[in-house]
Chain A
Amino acid sequence: MTEPAITPELIEAHGLKPDEYERILEIIGRTPSFTELGIFSAMWNEHCSYKSSKIHLRKLPTEGPQVICGPGENAGIVDIGDGQCVVFKMESHNHPSYIEPYQGAATGVGGILRDVFTMGARPIAAMNALSFGEPSHPKTRQLVNGVVEGIGGYGNCFGVPTVGGEVRFHPAYNGNCLVNAFAAGLADTDAIFYSAASGIGMPVVYLGAKTGRDGVGGATMASAEFDDTIEEKRPTVQVGDPFTEKRLMEATLELMQTGAVISIQDMGAAGLTCSAVEMGDKGGLGIKLNLDAVPQREENMTAYEMMLSESQERMLMVLNPEKEAEARAVFEKWDLDFAIVGETIAEDRFLVMHGNETKADLPLANLSGSAPEYDRPWVETPPAAEMDPVPEIDAIDGLKSLIASPNYAHKSWVWEQYDTMVMADTVVAPGAGSGVVRVHGTEKALAFTSDVTPRYVKANPYEGGKQAVAEAYRNLSAKGALPLATTDNLNFGNPEKPEIMGQFVGALKGIGEACAALNTPIVSGNVSLYNETDGQGILPTPTIGAVGLLDNLDQLIDGTARAGHVALMIGPEGAHLGQSALLAEAFSREDGDAPHVDLAAEKAHGDFIRGNAQFIDACTDLADGGLALAAFEMAEAAGVGVQIDAAGNGPLFGEDQARYLIACSFDKAEALMVAAGQAGVPIHTVGKFGGDTVTLGGSSAPLSDLSETYRSTFAANFA
């Protein structure tokens, strides 16, 4: 089949800038073929090459004694002792989910699960952080339903418990929803698999589902803004098959035990192209592919289509040839394709053959090594303007404005569509700040949370970046878990705009400082740029996924408040109302600065909580909605009333950081007071639990009425 001629229009349609095309000509010294142009566009788009973000990502702290493998592989790996490790990553599927919510979200889950089991880890927990437009926007209800069903449809069938996540709504996401999927797996430290190929003349094997035309150009689509041609982009969204993924996982993990795997890489964005180049590049080898051997689902596929297809549930591996028969038998057992499609070669070449023709012959190392890298111009986000005064509001009215908003209402409508308990090790299910999963067959457990407050990041990227990490740290500490490490999913608008790039740079500086101070290095991550529609960008949303360890489940803080319990607050009295939830929900205002984060206080308070877990029955961090929302949530979960003595907007709804709310008996409260005094940690009695009303300062309401609002709001908006 003859390939189209290379024209400026074709180059532009591949998302390549004129200077980037010039660089291609320099590298290969001739005009590329159509297939070669596709390969370059797949490797050099923003999604795959991180060309706008790389120079800033290098500044993040990624090392620590607990880190076995930092960024650069399919997922990060952290030691959890006893010869075991946790393998995790978070990744976005924003663009496809807006175009086709069910499949977009489903394949987002599929992709992140594959990243984890490719390294030899069995997935044991999933989370997802979702951002949608305002609830009244005509697209929002369909997106919420489709995305939630897609996540459930894939994760439930695959058989991984979904144990946490976030759901937020803001008009800035009207044209671009965010779907950030997290997965964590468990592996033995001495049985981890990497992607670097080794050995010359080793067979390159294609595993899993067949290749179709779906998702051709998906990574390039995800590297551009949306406009009114969005409907035309539907064919670039892949279709997921969780049943095949489940079999692929079982077969891959079984295969790894045979000793057949030299290196392995999942086929994600830009499928066969990215995975082959990555394995060759990391191993310093060339790769020769014979596309005639690729299992195909459709007829007459061209080399270009096969190289750019993003068909799901596929892997590429370099095989130890002595083990071929055993490896093949495993895949036959699971009824999956196993095909030798190429070999490793000594020369630095990426050779693609199809029908006895050479469709591509490129210097392999240059495909990723010479990808463009930009130091895009950026301007610092200006300091927030002085805030207008906030009128005092009746405290119960203030609370109602929060719990009647889908942002802060109870989210069981979402998580009941996810299997939160499969594998029978879920100790803390969604809805409690962080989810906790037991390490199967042990008394150890892992805690998971995902956090960011985009309003803060917009107002003050640096403090907002710090806050995302600090909140994750608190959510883990509030369960008694020691925060180990983090993964970042950086969702921003168009990086070619200096003010957007300024948000990115500022947020990353804050994230880096916080991760260093709190000893939670970033071990994996993903960048999603160009989240814009018709020039309108999203709120900067650097989602932080974090993992904590409980050496023994007896350290877990998982009780509930009870009548007679004292309410104690760790940290200073609240005062900061800038960018607060109260301001947004009760007054429709988003002004003021983000709260500033004192990282030393965060560390000290987190250490205090974990060190005194035996005195704490229930604990939650204070975040959006301050003391009032935290106290209500703790009381509501326990079905008991609460009386908070503080009055006024600041003390009740202020969102000052480094704070926790604790419920415990009087005797334990005394012990905590003594311990806090010794540790120099601020602690105050702020009220007590009991009765059946919620009292905030001088205002009260029956718990049952508030509970009804809190639990019905979400379904009322989206069911």
Chain B
Amino acid sequence: MKAAVITFPGSNCDRDLAVAFEQAGFDVARVWHKDTALPSGVDVVGIPGGFSFGDYLRCGAIAANSPICRSVVAHAEAGGFVLGICNGFQVLCETGLLPGVLMRNAGLKFVCRNVGLTVASAESAFTSGYAQGDALVVPVAHHDGNYNVDAEGLAALEAEGRVAFRYTDNPNGSMGDIAGVLSENRRVLGMMPHPERAVDAQHGGTDGAAMFKGLAEALVSA
């Protein structure tokens, strides 16, 4: 199993994400944003949290147009797996791989704390380690995590069961308490909470570990 973690100049959770993948048994390749191709044999691409290009223009907008993102989009379109966390979720929305946008938090302030999540769909490789309705505690840390999508888009997400996680105590004003969404083929997941910060009992708890482990198992059995 091979994961690629993309590093933009302002990524700051790239190491954390690589550690979480490694802990679940992945070989991890670190990929620079100016590279034009993903290493061969990559099963899943991780787009980490941080401030890819300083959040200038719009969070994720410049990153979505960087050389490597063309390859990430191609990888997804070919049926590859992509996981975008926090700024990575914003990047995925900007590339169009996921619907909707992440706006400024309703409270207008950066918010970093542990939040309660429920698993809204276990029907994906990413969430296969959980059961629908599982309650998790996972940290958030963002300024722009207020998920919005047009009415049709929201209806489609709900009808197709593509909401992966919901907040139990919405920290940012997201529509429908949405914390994470899946693509139509359920192989692209974007989420604001940081599961990679919840894979270690000494730091942030272990409720995120099942995501990486579940993904690894799904890839092996696939």
Contacts and interface: CB of A to CB of B under 8 A. Distances in A.
B204 A424 contact: yes
B112 A247 contact: no
B112 A416 contact: yes
Contacts of B200: 424
Interface string B99-115: 00000000001111100
Interface stretch (B52-60, B119-127, B160-168): B52-60
B94 interface: no
Contacts of B10: 157, 243, 246-247
A419 B197 contact: no
Nearest to A424: B16
B139 to A, nearest CB: 5
Nearest to B112: A419
A553 interface: yes
Nearest to A430: B112
A21 interface: no
A417 B51 contact: no
A418 B110 CA distance: 7
A152 B53 contact: no
B15 interface: yes
A483 to B, nearest CB: 22
Given A159-B50, A246-B10, A421 B204 contact: yes
Interface string A413-428: 0011111111111110
Contacts of B111: 416-417
A156 B49 CA distance: 11
Contact of B12 (A149, A159, A417): A159
B141 A425 contact: no
Contacts of B204: 421, 424, 426
B167 to A, nearest CB: 15
B141 A422 contact: yes
B202 A335 contact: no
A241 B54 contact: yes
Interface in A52-96: none
Given A421-B197, A424-B200, A243 B110 contact: no
Given A159-B50, A243-B10, A246-B51, A418 B203 contact: no
Contact of B139 (A333, A418, A421): A421
Contacts of A153: 110
A80 B210 CA distance: 34
A244 B109 CA distance: 22
Contacts of A420: 112, 141
A242 interface: yes
Contact of A418 (B51, B53, B112): B112
Nearest to A412: B113
A156 B113 CA distance: 13
A427 B202 CA distance: 6
B202 A553 contact: yes
B196 interface: yes
A637 to B, nearest CB: 14
Nearest to A160: B12
Interface in B40-68: 49-51, 53-56
Contacts of A415: 112
Nearest to B15: A423
A424 B19 contact: yes
A153 to B, nearest CB: 8
A152 B19 CA distance: 25
Interface in B1-45: 9-10, 12-13, 15-16, 19, 34
Contacts of B53: 243
A152 B109 CA distance: 10
Contact of B109 (A149, A157, A250, A423): A149
Contacts of B51: 156-157, 159, 242-243, 246
A156 B9 contact: no
Given A157-B51, A438-B202, A422 B16 contact: yes
Nearest to B108: A149
Contact of A427 (B13, B50, B203): B203
Nearest to B12: A159
Contacts of A632: none
Contacts of A242: 51, 54
Interface string A192-213: 0000000000000000000000
Given A243-B9, A246-B12, A421-B141, A152 B54 contact: no
Contacts of B50: 157, 159
A426 B202 CA distance: 8
B170 to A, nearest CB: 15
Contact of A417 (B34, B110, B203): B110
B112 A421 contact: yes
B9 A246 contact: yes
Contacts of A425: 203
Interface string A229-245: 00000000000011110
A243 B87 CA distance: 14
B9 A157 contact: no
A417 B111 CA distance: 5
Interface in A220-263: 241-244, 246-247, 250
Contacts of B113: 412, 416
A334 interface: yes
B51 to A, nearest CB: 4
A157 B54 contact: yes
Interface string A532-558: 000000000000000000000100000
A417 B112 contact: yes
A143 B197 CA distance: 32
13 contacts: A149-B110, A156-B143, A157-B54, A157-B55, A241-B54, A244-B54, A247-B9, A250-B9, A416-B113, A417-B112, A419-B141, A422-B49, A424-B15
Given A416-B112, A417-B111, 7 more contacts: A243-B53, A333-B34, A417-B109, A422-B12, A422-B13, A424-B203, A427-B203
The 10 closest A-B pairs by CB, nearest first: A159-B12, A243-B54, A424-B16, A157-B51, A419-B141, A417-B110, A152-B110, A419-B112, A243-B10, A247-B9
